[in-house]
Structures are given as C-alpha cells and as structure tokens.
Chain A
Amino acid sequence: MSEYILELKGVTKDFPGVRALDDVHFNVRTGEVHSIMGENGAGKSTFIKIITGVYTPDAGEIIYNGKPAVIRNTLDSQRLGIAAIYQHVTSYPDLSVTENIFIGHEKYNPYTRRIAWKELHARAAELLGQLESSFDPRVRMGSLSIAKQQIVEIAKALSVNARVIIMDEPTAALTNRESEELYKITENLKNNGAAVIFISHRMVDMFRLADRVTVFRDAKYINTWNRDEITHEKLVKAMVGREITQYFPKRNVHIRDEVLRAEHISRLGYFRDISFSLHRGEILAFTGLVGAGRTEVCEALYGITQYDEGHIYLDGEEIQIRHPKEAIDKGIGYLPEDRHGHGLVMDWELFKNISLALLEKFSRWKFIREDDEKKSAQELGDKLEIKAGTVFDKANTLSGGNQQKVIVAKLLTADLKVIILDEPTKGVDVGAKTAIFNIMGELAEMGYGIIMVSSEMPEVLGVSDRIVVMKEGRISAVLNTEETTQEEILHAALGEKKKVISHAE
C-alpha cells in the first residue's frame, strides 16, 4: 500500500499554443487537507480538470490507491471516489435538495424504474445531519442560501463515499461566519478519513486549514511545504517568483474639496440610509461582508439601478442619475466587479473596448472615426502599460490584470470626476495588483475622487484614506485609515458593536 491515496507524477497538458500544465507533481494522504495555491493562470483549474476527468493528460501518470489509474471522463473519476465542489455552485435550483445530492446515481426500483424517494429523503437527512445541518431535504434547492447550498454539495460528495474531495475556491462567496462553518465541516471530513484538496486564493483559508501546501506558478510545480515550515512572505514569493517590496504603494496625496456627497440614499431590500462624502484626491474604501450592499450602492450611484430615496450631490449640485450614460456625462465612472460579464466585450479588439464608453468622442455626426479610436487606445495603453501587441488584440487574449487596465483606459476616455472601482483586484495576480494600486494612486494625484470596493482587509488598509464599513445594507462605521485597525473594521463589519463608530469627518 502506498502512503498516498492520490498521486500525480510528471503530469503535462498541452493546448494548441499553450502548455497549461508542465511536469506537475502532487500527492495527498487520507486524513489530510492539502492546499493548492497559485496566481490566476498558474494551472490550478487545469489541474482540477485533469483529476476530475474533464481533460486527459498528455504525459505523466496518475496513481490512485497505489495503482495506476486512467481517468478518461468525469464518470471514471466519480467511480474512483473523487468528488469536486466547484467555485460557482453547480446545483439545480428547481430540484429538491435530495435530488441535488443524488443526481446521477439515484436509487430506483429496477422493474418500475421509480426513484426510491422514501429511502433517498431519509438518506439525505442523514447526510445533512452528519454535517450538522438539519433542513428538510424536500425543499427546493433554489430557496436555500449559498452557504447551505454548498453544504448540500458536500453532502453530495459524501453520498458517493468520496475519498478524495476537491474544493475549488469554496469560500469565495461566503461570509466570514459561513467560512468558519465550512472550515469545521472540512476538518470533520478530514478526521473521518477523507483526503481534501483545498484550492483558494485566500491566505486565511490556507493557514487555517491546510496540513500541507503546494504552489504552482506559470503551469509549473514549484514546491510543497508543511504548514509549519512556511510563512506568508515565503508563500507570496513562491507564487510570484519575486519579492514584493512595496505591496501597497501608498502615496501622499493632498486631499482637496468635496466632489461627491450622498445623503440618506436607500433602495428597497438592498441598502438604507447611506450617507458619505468623497473628496478630490481621496481614495474611499467601501468594505464589509459579501452581500452587505456595497456593489448595490455603487450601481445606484452609476445609474445601473435606481435608489428610491435620498439625494446625491456632485460638486455641490444635486444630480439625478437614471442611466449609466448620464453618470458618465456628469463625471462618474464605474469599473464593475464582473470584469468578463460587465466590464469588457471579451470577443472585441482593444480599441473598440476602450472607445465604447464614449463613442461620441470618437465620432463626428455619429460616424465613427476609427483612426481616433486606435490612436487613443495606443496612448492610453502605453500610459497604463497594457501588455498587448496591437490595438487589434482581443480582450480575451489578455491576462486579468491587463483586462482590468483596459477597463480603466475606457474610463479615462471620459471626462470624469469620480471613479468607482468595484473589487478591482479580484482574480488578478499579485504583480498586477501592485500596478493597479499604482494607477489608483496616480489618478488620486490627478484629482479624481476614487471609491474602491474591496473585501481584502490588507488592501483596504493599505491604499485608502478613509473606510466606509457596511453591514446588512447600512453603514456601520466610517473610519480614518490611519487611526483604525483590522479588528475595528471587522467588528464593524460583523456588527458586534451596536453603535455606529465614526471618527472620520
């Protein structure tokens, strides 16, 4: 018997023109949590897809339980006892919890082909009980919260007696409290003899859970460490391949007069009584748990949705924003959280993406002047150091960080006063993060008022001047960055202190 339940040796996967995995080694024991870390594009998702049988490797071998295994499709991997819980929950909202757990391997009467409902419901309740959750397995999946849906997904893995459980960024959409629940469940799984492969961007997850950690970089295997032999800095260095000397390049910017003020704005069911002010040259961070209403406030400021009550003042004048076009014309720009879906036309050339927000600037009598577009794309691209060959490069051929810069370039074509950046570093690698912070600093120097939505505590503390903390749709604190601490923000976000703290303004 081998020491490891699952072992990969020298696994390589090629796509036309790209090597997605290059000679990768990995192993996991039963009863351990093995974390995989790496920047975007490091090969983590290809790695998962190889284990789960979505892709077949071009070279190398997979050893399962001491024997060489061939995994040609998802069914093969399921039969071996490998289960994956994906980043985006892959459930069926219209089906019951029971059906979601047993889909693909429902028990049924071989003669009447009737699904054995009674037995399955009972078994589902039992599995949920094992995970210390007791909700009725007959309810529709769609009526549950994301955290509960994730528990159902884990129950699904248990239902096939999975011995290797892969969790792909499971905490990404969870609140801190829900993450803590998930940690407990994961530890339970481990103590019951499962091998857990935990993939996450978040250092917190790694230090809280992992027994060992493996780092990938640029499709290559870098190293594996035990948790007690690795530090935060060492890990970042391994992931990036260089020391990050100045992770948060905070600049000293002179903060000038007020540019934007919101007074008691509310939107039914999303946020209530939001008041804040923003000054030229200032970076104002909006933080809080996921679902606290930060994005919704920004979208209302930008005219994607409407607020029901309250007033917004720009340069002291009350404004009404009914459409993003009006926001842009008045001087408010927005970088959306969902870069692929909302920020870019992925299948479009760079210059078309950059000119999209202000087509009238690149046209005369409604006729487009492509030369102007290309020239402006070139200028802005160079200024922001976008790594692209020509302005004809399609957005989907760029890396995450460069895509983000394209959206910033798009915002800069307009004559803005306020720029709202919603999670600008989400899914961007560490090197590009620094570049984005640098750009934000420059913009602040140029006199833009900047709102940054972020869930990353170090980032919020590192780049902002003031911090607005939101909790369940309301502002729970407005803090001066220099005077506050991580603990204070956390308390405000979790609402453990009742009264609104504010030592800013």
Chain B
Amino acid sequence: MTERTIRTERPWSWKRFFFQWEWLLVIIFILIHVVNSTLSPYYLNINTFIRTPQSFLDKAFIVLPMTFVILLGNIDVSVGSTVALSSVIMAVAYNAGLPMPLAIVLCLAVSTACGLFNGILMVKYKELSAAIITISTMTIYRGFAYVILEDQASGGFPEWFSFLGWGNIAGFPVMLIVFTVCAFLFWILLHKTTFGRSLYGMGNSMNACRYSGIRTDRVILIVSLLTGLMAGFTALFLTSRMGSTRPNVAQGYELEVIAMVVLGGVSTSGGKGRIIGPILAVFIVGFLSYGLGLVNISAQVLLIIIGALLIVSVTVLNVRIRKRKKKIPA
C-alpha cells in the first residue's frame, strides 16, 4: 500500500485573500464617504456615523434573514407586506385598548406567523417556486392591511414607544445597538453552526443534503420564521420612527432588501456569499442616499439608483461566475 496523506491545510494565497467581493464593497464604502465629505464640510464627524444609520437601519433587519433566503436559492418578496400587516395590526390593537407592550408582542407574533405561513407553503407544495408563493402572499398580506385600515392612518402611540426609533443608550442609538446584536447573532448562526452549514449545503444542492440526512424542511421553516420575525422588528422601528402607520408603509422594501443582499455578493442561484457583504451593502446604500439628500436629489432618483444597483451587481456577479465556470471543461 502506498503511503499518501491528504493535507489539512493549504498555503495562504494573496489571490484568494484579495479577490473577494467584500473588498470591493469596502472600497465603495470609503469612496462614498470621500464624495459625501466633499459635498458637505460638516460631514466628516463622528456623529454622522452614529446618528445617520437611524434613518436607514429599519429595513436592514430584514437584510439579515433575506441573506439566508437567497443563500437557499429562494426569494421572498412578501417582506414589505409583512411589515405593513404587522404594523397595522399593532396600531389597531393598541387603539382598541391593548396595552402597548402586548401590542408589540402581537406585532412580532403576526409577522412571525406571516413568515411561517410562507415556509409551510414552501415545504408542503415543493412544486411551487418561492417566487410565486411569496408573490401571492405579498398580495394577501398587503390586502389584509388594507381591509383592516382601509385608507386611514393609525397612531397615537405612548411617548416611550418613540424611544425605539429615536432614543439613545449610552450615546448610541437604540436601533444601531439592536442591529449590531442581531447582525452578530446572524453571523454566528450562518458561519459557525451546523444550521449555517446545512443552509449553505442546501443552497448548493438541496438533494445532496436531503440524501445526507439533513432535515431540509426544518431549515426552510426556520429561515422563513426568522424572516417573519425580523420583518416584525422592522415594523416596530419603522412605526416608532413615523409615529403612525398606514396600509401602504414599507412599500417596495422587498426590492431594497433584495438589492442590498445581492449587492453584498450573495449569488441569486444560492449557496455562495457571506453575511458581511449584505451588512456592508446596507451601509453603502444608506450613506449613499444620505449623500444624495445632501445635494437635494429626490427620493425618486434614489428609486432609480437602487434598481440600477440591483441590476448592475447581479450582472457583474453573473459574469464573474460564468468566467470561472468557463475554466472547467464540461
């Protein structure tokens, strides 16, 4: 028998280290700050970095689980509607006499239930694509929000509720703190645990995982549950910042969130990408829109920019993957 040993380590390669999508994001991130600081002399200020995120972090909570969803090779376009429905139900329940803390719990429960419902449909009817399931639930959830509140607004929350979206703890905005904690937990979940490993495996090959004894249905259900729960967080912070809610809140959030995940280097065909990318993308898009605000560019232009960003980054990622594939003969 010949003695041969498979090595367990590989040499450090500068190519592998520097040819990572995340470095590109870091460069863009720095560039945006450079441009912003030339636009406004007051920009470069520690306060900018601590305060500004409050204005864009609400949807960032959904970016975390959406990264999981897209890693699975799925997509979820119902998140914006989930935010609207849970926010509307919270407001209506509070105004009907439910104490605010319970209303908050109700909000999270509703959003989690919405997410779970998507998951159950996906697991039970595997023949259907996640796209079509969430397109229909997107319509249903938003539709229910309209049924409940019609074209009214609802608000009048207690004073302390605004603390979530506007308050500080030890000089840091509550939102930033909560987001940091959530991001850390999601990072651990994805990159350090068996759950995260299964997730990556399923994104690469659902069948190989099923045949390896991974409980794939359970993973899908957990991911959709997390998506719902985090949409509930978004609903809380968004409602707190606005002080009232309407059935049309968070319209188009699904697009922004998906755009950030894709910009973060997560492949839409599943299985490739890390969570740090989408987190960087959140801050890139956030500070970009802040910079646009400095020069008085309207929200509609931002709409164009986000749409274009999504298209460009997917295209670039696809071309990159195709180039790599060409190297291996079929």
Contacts and interface: CB of A to CB of B under 8 A. Distances in A.
- Does A touch B (CB under 8 Å) in the complex? yes
By Cβ-Cβ distance, the 5 closest A-B pairs, closest first, are: A15-B329, A325-B213, A324-B213, A374-B8, A359-B194
A392 interface: yes
A356 B208 CA distance: 9
B71 to A, nearest CB: 13
A323 B209 contact: no
A223 interface: no
A17 B327 contact: yes
Given A16-B327, A378-B6, A390-B9, A356 B209 contact: yes
A357 B6 contact: no
Interface in B201-231: 201, 204-205, 207-215
Interface in A341-356: 341-348, 350-352, 356
Contacts of B47: none
B198 interface: yes
Contact of A304 (B9, B210, B327): B210
A16 B325 CA distance: 11
A110 interface: no
A363 B188 CA distance: 14
Interface string A385-405: 110111110001000000000
A345 B193 contact: no
User: Which of B8, B195, B204, B209 has the largest count of A CB atoms less than 10 A from its CB?
Assistant: B8
Contacts of B212: 324, 356-357, 410
B208 A344 contact: yes
B85 to A, nearest CB: 32
Interface in A377-425: 377-378, 381-382, 385-386, 388-392, 396, 410
Contact of A334 (B9, B10, B211): B211
B211 A345 contact: no
B5 A382 contact: yes
A310 B38 CA distance: 77
A367 B2 CA distance: 36
Given A17-B327, A366-B193, A356 B214 contact: yes
A210 interface: no
Nearest to A396: B328
A396 B205 CA distance: 13
B209 A345 contact: yes
Contacts of A323: 213, 215
Contacts of A360: 194
In the complex, which range does the number of interface residues on chain A fall in? 35 or more
A341 B207 contact: yes
A386 B197 contact: no
A327 interface: yes
Contacts of B8: 351, 374-375, 377-378, 390-391
Contacts of A292: none
Contacts of B328: 15, 396
User: Which of B4, B10, B195, B211 has the largest count of A CB atoms less than 10 A from its CB?
Assistant: B211
Given A345-B208, A347-B204, A389 B6 contact: yes
A20 interface: yes
B194 A363 contact: yes
A388 B7 CA distance: 9
Contacts of A386: 6
A392 B10 contact: yes
Contacts of B210: 304, 324, 342
B193 A363 contact: yes
Contact of B213 (A15, A357, A367, A391): A357
Contact of A382 (B6, B193, B204): B6
B232 interface: no
B6 A328 contact: no
A468 to B, nearest CB: 22
B6 A343 contact: no
Nearest to B3: A382
A336 interface: yes
Interface string B134-157: 000000000000000000000000
Contacts of A15: 327-329
A381 B207 CA distance: 23
